Each structure stands twice: as structure tokens, then as C-alpha cells.
């Protein structure tokens, strides 16, 4: 091969495809045949990542107006339309062989290329403009920079709509009419395609609306929905395979891209074919009403809504401009503030619509330590109350409180949300399937615990003991367990009738301040560092012979409610 021949081939190689076409010998066939864009036919094009695909078309002599519509799928694309006009018309019988494709004739001849439209995005875009000179070839360039995708292109010659794609109204936005906790009502302007076709009798509807609900983002096309559903299916299948195989690496099946011809047109899929076979894709295609209420949503959740008008016959669709909104929060009871050291009486009930089944309180401790003590117990009924304490939307503790006084240590947050909920005897939540007075009275108090690091200790037992040998006609001796902390103990007494079997012990929620002053007989301080020896006694005198008395002891504390010991009934001696 001569030096001139080598230079000739090098210039042809580095000059691009157009030069290769022009200089290719007559007995060679190009590696990338020219792809023509047919009129009035939806052409599906596969776009490899980063590669520019070109489609060519010419217009008829009588065509004075043309439009081209490009529909991206799942990712944004770049597309442009250019026209190349010859200065001299190509000869009717060119001296080139028939193996040469028509675009090669334009590139071999003299002329220039003018770009007439560009677009970048993921929405359906349509260019409409006048036709250029008869001897012109149009070049449609398509490119995807993110990843491989599918694009549909459609060419229409002449004036008026093509009738292949549904028409959007002048206001293509989706409006929100109403928002609830679990439902959203949408409205949009009707499509002129549906208004025109819906009046025909005896024929199935050509068009319908599809409403798409998504929790991530709005989608610009049903093709994007289809690809998203396929990806989710594939990810779910891969996840199941990984779980089944354990530590074994499972590779997904290779796609058939290796042998696929990028220029070959692919079979077009209906935009709603996948939706018909997919269970709950978040898309509802039903009728031609322009108002829709989407139900079964989650409260306090943001949703994205899209509306598509679909042509079932041609398998095309157009997207309205979607919207998004957040559903309302669930109705919650009002939150009541607890004051420092306030004794709060709470009533819960499970019957009647006007009764409160749940109560919420908020307490903010004083001091820089932000510690507090919550004490409570139920006063009547046979049910317990579930207490849940949280701070900064994080649950700190949850426990059941019954007739025994309970203490909950509050620490770790600047303020605390206290939720009370009554429980039936078997432990389940309200409502309670009973009639009558299903009311539960609860007494509680919240106090700031200054310079404390733990909950105050309880006595080892709340039983009161009396000594028979120390019992006289006008006095009795009782004893009870104390604690290692210095505390005040007060003793109350009241005389009861001799038929003691008809009398029960004092209400456990009856605090000392609610009792008559003449019932208090003594108060004393006590402290014992050894819990096993923390026993104190009191001699109660000035009693009547042979009388029946009920004694109550209260542990008076600086923090929290007073602790009431179990009532003790003692009879004085009749004869001494």
C-alpha cells in the first residue's frame, strides 16, 4: 500500500462517520446502517449510556408543517433536531451505487447543517415548526448520560394534532381539593381528547385517567413507573436470593445486551399493561372522571400524586403536572402541664363517647440536673393503668401501675411526656366491654428531685404489726418498717363499730390532708441505716376499753406522694 493510500484512510478514519460513508468503497457495507424515522409510527429507541443515537427523516413535498414528539422514560435525556439542506439538489440518477444510503448522498454533497431545536429533561417534549426546503434531511440526535434507557419518537406531518397522543388542557396542573388523615381528594382539568371522544355511543372508551400515588417523588411518565416497578421487583428477587443462599454470592442473570442490535426497533409495550398485572402499584386507572379521592393512606405522611391521560388504543399517555401533600396527624388528646409537687387526680373510662380513654401530661423538672420523680397508683376498680414516659419522641419506660404505689424515676431529658391508658383485667387495652361505672381513678404527683441520683427507697413491707401482750384497756402498741432515710411518719386512728366485718380499710388514695385533724395521734421522725433493723414503734393511748380501732401510718416524703401502710384493726382489752 502506497503512502498516499495510508494517509487517505487515516483522514477518512478521523473525520467521523460521514466521511467514512462518503469514502467507503462500493463493495463494502457500513457497520451502522442508517435508521429512518417513519411517519405516523411510534418508534422505540434504545439509548446506551453516553452514546448518541441518530435518526433521519425527510418530509413530503406537500408538507408545510411538521412536529416531532420525544418521550423519555426513567431518566433525563438530551435530544436535538437539526436540518441539513443541500445547495444543489442530488441528481435523480446518482453515479453512486445503490448500496449507498440516502444520508450519504447529503453528506457527500455541498450544504450546511442548522440546529433548530434542543431539549434536556425527562418530560415528553414536542417540537412543531415549518418544513424547510424540499431537498432537506432532518437529523434527530438522542443521548442519555446517566444510564441506558428507552425513548419513543413520533413524527407527524401536516397541521392539526396527530391524534396519537392525548391532549392536555391549558392548565395541566393537579390540584388538591381536600386532605384528611388517610385520604386526599384531587382535581384536574379535563383533557380535550376525553371530552371529544366520550360522547360516542356504542364504542368502548378510548381514553382514561390514571392516578399514581408515590411516597418518594413525582413521576413524569408511565414508562418511568414501569421501570421503577421492574427495578423494585428485581431488587426484591435479589434480596430473596441472598437470604436463601446465606453467605453465598448470587449474581443476577446477565441481560441480553451482548447480542442485541442497538438500531433494531423494539416491541412497544402498552403503558398500562404492567399495571394490569401488578398488584397494588400505587396507580389506579378506572374512568374518565376528573376528580379522584385516594384512600387508605398513612397519617402524617407526605405523598406525591401524578395524573396521566392514557390512550388505550395507541398505547400512549401524557402526564399532568403532579402535586404533593402531607396527610394530617392522628387526633391526639390534649396535653396537660403538671405543676411542681401538684397532686393530680385523673379519671379514665372506657365507656361512652364523651369519656376520656387516654390522658397526656407534660412535666418539666426544675434545676440543672433535670431529674424528677413520678409517683402514682390507682384508687378504685380492678384494672391497672399503663404508664408510658417519653422524652424527645423517644420512649424511656413503660409499665403497669396498680393499687401498689409506683415510683418512676425521670432523668435524661429536659421535659417528659406522660401517657396514661387504662387496661382491662386481662391486660389488653381499652375499650372495655362492660357497662356501668368503668371509671378508674388515679392519683399522681411529679416533683423535681434535687441532688438525687435514684428513686427514694420503699420500706421493706407496708404491713403494720400490733403486739397482743402490750395491748391494754386504753392503749395499744403498733410497729412498722421504716427506711434508712430520715423521714416523717404520722399515725392516724379512728374508732369503728364492733361489726368490723362490714367495714373495709381506708381508701389507699386518701392522703393525710384529707383526713380530719382529730384522727392524727402522733408524728415522729425515724431513720435506721440497717434496713433489717429499721423498725419503729408507737404506743397509742387514751382509748376506750373493748373498742375497735383502725390505725393508719403514712410515710411523709419530700418527693412524691405519701406512702400509706396497710390499715390495721385492733381491739382494746375489755378487762384489765
Q: Where in the chain is the domain with CATH 2.60.120.380?
A: 335-448
Q: What is the pLDDT of residue 52?
A: 92
Q: What is the pLDDT of residue 249?
A: 42
Burial of 247 (0-12, 13-18, 19+ CB in 10 A): exposed
- Residue 157 or 94, more confident: 157
- Residue 376 or 403, more confident: 376
Question: For residue 349, what is the enclosing H or E element?
Answer: strand 343-349
> Over pLDDT 70: what percentage of the chain?
74
Q: Is the peptide bond before 431 cis (omega within 30 degrees of 0)?
A: yes
Fold of 465-571: Immunoglobulin-like (2.60.40)
Task: Give the whole-angstrom CA distance, residue 52 versus residue 263.
Answer: 12
Question: For residue 440, what is the enclosing H or E element?
Answer: strand 439-448
CB of 37 closer than 8 Å to CB of 139? no
Question: For residue 222, what is the enclosing H or E element?
Answer: helix 222-245
Burial of 212 (0-12, 13-18, 19+ CB in 10 A): buried
- Residue 455 or 485, more confident: 485
CB of 71 closer than 8 Å to CB of 310? no
Task: Give the whole-angstrom CA distance, residue 131 versus residue 158.
Answer: 9
Could you give the 3-state DSSP secondary structure of residue 136? strand
Q: What is the pLDDT of residue 325?
A: 94
For residue 115 the three cell numbers come to 440546529
pLDDT category at 573 given cuts 50, 70, 90 is very high
pLDDT category at 218 given cuts 50, 70, 90 is confident
Pairing state between β 149-157 and 207-214: unpaired
Q: What is the pLDDT of residue 266?
A: 41
Non-local (6+) Cβ contacts of 76 within 8 A are 120, 121, 122, 144, 146
pLDDT per residue as tens digits for the range 123-135: 888 899 888 877 6
- Residue 559 or 201, more confident: 559
Task: Give the DSSP per-residue string, 70-102.
Answer: EE--SS-EEEEEEEEEESSPPPSS-SS-TTS-H
Task: Give the DSSP per-residue string, 153-199.
Answer: EEEEESSS--SSSPPP-S--BEEEEEE-SS-EEEEEPPPHHHHHHTT
Give me the half-sphere count of Cα atoms (radius 13 Å) on the Cβ side of residue 349: 12
pLDDT category at 108 given cuts 50, 70, 90 is low
pLDDT category at 101 given cuts 50, 70, 90 is low
For residue 428 the three cell numbers come to 389488653
pTM: 0.52
Reply yes or no on whether the pLDDT at 262 is more than 80: no
- Which range scores top for mean pLDDT: 83-87, 218-222, 516-520? 516-520
Could you give the 3-state DSSP secondary structure of residue 114? strand
Q: What is the pLDDT of residue 26?
A: 45
pLDDT per residue as tens digits for the range 170-189: 999 999 999 999 999 999 99
Reply yes or no on whether the pLDDT at 167 is more than 50: yes
Q: What is the pLDDT of residue 175?
A: 94
Q: What is the pLDDT of residue 536?
A: 94
Reply yes or no on whether the pLDDT at 269 is more than 50: no
Least confident of 76-80, 205-209, 266-270, 408-412: 266-270
pLDDT category at 267 given cuts 50, 70, 90 is very low
Q: What is the pLDDT of residue 505?
A: 58
Q: What is the pLDDT of residue 470?
A: 92
CB of 503 closer than 8 Å to CB of 496? yes
Name the average pLDDT for the chain.
Answer: 77
Fold of 13-157: Jelly Rolls (2.60.120)
Q: What is the pLDDT of residue 265?
A: 40
Pairing state between β 372-378 and 394-401: unpaired
CB of 406 closer than 8 Å to CB of 399? yes
Least confident of 172-181, 361-370, 436-445: 436-445
CATH for 335-448? 2.60.120.380
- Residue 96 or 19, more confident: 96
Q: Where in the chain is the domain with CATH 2.60.40.10?
A: 174-326, 465-571
Fold of 174-326: Immunoglobulin-like (2.60.40)
pLDDT category at 345 given cuts 50, 70, 90 is confident
Q: What is the pLDDT of residue 18?
A: 40
CB of 346 closer than 8 Å to CB of 430? no
Q: Where in the chain is the domain with CATH 2.60.120.680?
A: 13-157
Q: What is the pLDDT of residue 15?
A: 43
Q: What is the pLDDT of residue 5?
A: 47
pLDDT category at 223 given cuts 50, 70, 90 is confident
> Over pLDDT 90: what percentage of the chain?
26
For residue 122 the three cell numbers come to 425527562
Reply yes or no on whether the pLDDT at 382 is more than 80: no
Q: What is the pLDDT of residue 27?
A: 45
Amino acid at each position: 500500500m502506497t503512502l498516499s493510500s495510508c494517509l487517505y484512510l487515516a483522514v477518512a478514519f478521523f473525520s467521523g462517520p460521514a466521511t467514512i460513508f462518503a469514502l467507503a468503497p462500493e463493495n463494502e457495507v457500513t457497520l451502522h446502517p442508517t435508521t429512518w424515522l417513519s411517519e405516523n409510527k411510534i418508534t422505540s429507541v434504545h439509548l446506551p449510556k453516553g452514546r448518541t443515537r441518530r435518526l433521519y427523516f425527510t418530509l413530503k413535498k406537500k408538507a408545510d408543517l411538521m412536529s416531532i414528539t420525544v418521550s423519555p422514560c426513567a431518566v433525563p435525556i438530551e435530544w436535538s433536531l437539526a436540518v441539513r439542506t443541500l445547495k444543489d439538489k442530488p441528481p435523480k440518477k446518482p453515479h453512486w451505487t445503490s448500496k449507498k444510503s440516502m444520508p450519504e448522498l447529503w453528506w457527500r454533497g455541498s450544504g450546511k447543517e442548522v440546529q433548530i431545536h434542543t431539549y434536556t429533561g425527562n418530560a415528553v417534549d414536542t417540537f412543531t415548526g415549518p418544513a424547510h426546503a424540499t431537498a432537506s434531511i432532518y437529523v434527530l440526535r438522542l443521548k442519555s448520560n446517566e444510564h441506558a434507557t428507552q425513548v419513543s419518537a413520533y413524527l407527524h406531518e401536516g397541521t392539526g394534532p396527530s391524534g396519537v397522543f392525548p391532549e392536555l388542557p391549558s392548565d395541566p396542573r393537579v390540584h388538591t381539593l381536600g386532605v384528611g388523615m388517610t385520604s386526599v381528594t384531587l382535581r384536574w382539568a379535563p383533557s380535550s381528547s376525553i371530552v371529544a371522544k366520550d360522547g360516542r355511543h356504542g364504542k368502548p372508551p378510548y381514553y382514561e385517567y390514571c392516578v399514581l400515588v408515590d411516597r418518594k417523588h413525582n413521576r413524569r411518565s408511565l414508562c418511568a413507573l414501569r421501570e421503577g416497578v421492574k427495578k423494585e421487583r428485581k431488587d426484591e428477587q435479589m434480596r430473596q436470593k441472598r437470604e436463601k443462599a446465606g453467605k453465598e454470592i448470587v449474581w443476577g442473570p446477565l441481560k441480553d445486551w451482548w447480542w442485541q442490535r442497538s438500531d433494531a426497533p423494539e416491541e412497544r409495550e402498552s403503558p398500562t399493561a404492567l399495571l394490569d398485572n401488578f398488584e397494588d402499584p400505587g396507580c389506579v386507572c378506572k374512568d374518565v372522571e376528573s376528580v379522584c379521592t385516594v384512600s387508605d393512606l398513612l397519617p402524617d405522611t407526605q405523598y406525591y400524586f401524578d395524573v396521566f391521560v392514557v390512550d388505550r388504543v395507541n398505547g400512549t399517555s401524557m402526564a399532568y403536572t403532579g402535586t404533593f401533600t402531607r396527610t394530617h396527624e392522628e387526633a391526639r388528646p390534649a396535653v396537660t402541664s403538671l405543676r411542681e409537687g401538684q397532686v393530680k387526680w385523673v379519671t379514665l373510662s372506657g365507656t361512652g363517647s364523651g369519656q376520656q380513654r387516654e390522658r397526656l401530661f407534660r412535666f418539666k423538672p426544675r434545676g440543672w440536673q433535670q431529674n424528677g420523680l413520678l409517683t402514682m397508683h390507682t384508687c378504685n376498680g380492678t384494672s391497672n393503668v399503663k404508664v408510658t414516659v417519653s422524652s424527645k419522641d423517644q420512649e424511656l419506660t413503660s409499665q403497669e401501675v396498680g393499687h401498689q404505689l409506683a415510683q418512676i424515676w425521670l432523668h435524661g431529658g429536659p421535659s417528659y411526656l406522660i401517657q396514661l391508658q387504662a387496661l382491662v383485667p386481662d391486660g389488653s387495652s381499652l375499650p372495655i366491654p362492660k357497662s356501668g361505672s368503668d371509671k378508674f381513678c388515679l392519683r399522681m404527683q411529679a416533683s423535681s428531685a434535687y441532688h438525687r441520683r435514684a428513686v427514694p427507697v420503699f420500706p421493706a413491707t407496708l404491713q403494720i404489726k400490733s403486739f397482743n401482750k402490750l395491748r391494754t384497756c386504753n392503749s395499744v402498741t403498733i410497729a412498722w418498717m421504716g427506711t434508712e432515710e430520715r423521714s416523717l411518719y404520722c399515725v392516724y386512728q379512728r374508732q369503728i363499730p364492733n361489726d368490723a366485718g362490714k367495714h373495709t380499710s381506708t381508701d389507699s388514695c386518701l392522703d393525710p390532708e384529707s383526713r380530719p385533724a382529730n384522727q392524727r395521734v402522733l408524728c415522729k421522725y425515724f431513720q435506721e441505716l440497717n434496713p433489717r433493723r429499721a423498725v419503729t414503734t408507737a404506743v397509742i393511748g387514751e382509748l376506750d376499753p373493748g373498742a375497735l380501732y383502725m390505725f393508719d401510718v403514712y410515710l411523709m416524703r419530700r418527693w412524691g406522694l405519701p406512702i400509706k401502710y396497710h390499715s390495721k384493726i385492733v381491739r382494746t382489752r375489755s378487762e384489765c
